[in-house]
Amino acid sequence: MWAFHVSRDLRWPSDDIAFGLTLAVSLFVAYAGTFVFGLPLYFFLRARQITSFVVAPAFGLIIGALATWLVAGRYLTPDFLQFGGLSGAAVGAVLWLIARPGRRTQQRDVELASSDDKLGG
């Protein structure tokens, strides 16, 4: 009962509510941009063997700037666009590090070589 009375008496300042709403909208836009623009682009580039590290942050920057432009509209400032682009580049780099396109083939080659050694081949 005591916790209920304490939480009922707390008041949220308007700045905290604005921050929470901004964070929620930003997360929604970021995930939507990743799925709508990033995922198809990832499959397109992977199918064409364009998988170097430099490509992921470059296209991430473009997608981040595009998503920022679509959301901000007439309130777009150069600083806001720069933040969106750099955030997109960071996401592109992190997703490339997670997926690492060449890692699976290298692991498969090592596994095949070790299985050949075990079989005496």
Q: Considering just the CA atoms, what is the radius of gyration of the chain in Å?
A: 22
Comparing CA positions, the residue from 85, 23, 20, 22 lying closest to residue 59 is: 85
Is the pTM value of this prediction over 0.75?
Answer: no
pLDDT greater at residue 60 or residue 111 = 60
Q: Is 93 in contact with 53 (CB distance < 8 Å)?
A: yes
pLDDT at 120 over 60: no
Residues 20-35: pLDDT tens digits? Answer: 887 888 788 778 888 8
Residue carrying structure tokens 């498969």:
108
